[in-house]
Structure 1
């Protein structure tokens, strides 16, 4: 009869990292901090762009109102800015959820 040799532990057979309540496995803080910092900067830039677009839409609305041409251009820009803000926020939330 042959003796059974002990095999070294495989890299694939390592213990899973500890999970928080709910069963979600969180990456290390060293891995997540740069990603979250970059996400914060991008959200700040997007918020600044949306605020700038809303101010420009107000300016266009005022010019159209003063010239008695109607308010279509500025109102359409308000709508586009609102929809873009909703899409950006939703994409950020979904992206954050997928990172977990």
Structure 2
């Protein structure tokens, strides 16, 4: 799961996704809440890190995936794109 940051969209991963798929990863890049055509909950509290992590966890669970691999890699045009460990639930090994 490729997650974008502020102020980007899922489109930011367009060059990296084919590379990851070619390496055998199942990969997708959802828009995070409040971006693109996603829902826009009201209030700052709706965008706290724990809420965003819960969104990612729900998407991962809905995907039917059983394993996630946190990774830092140089992809695309040599720009460092990557993952970071976060406040992900203990049942997961991390998030893209």
Q: Decide which structure has greater strand share.
A: 2
TM-score (norm 2): 0.26
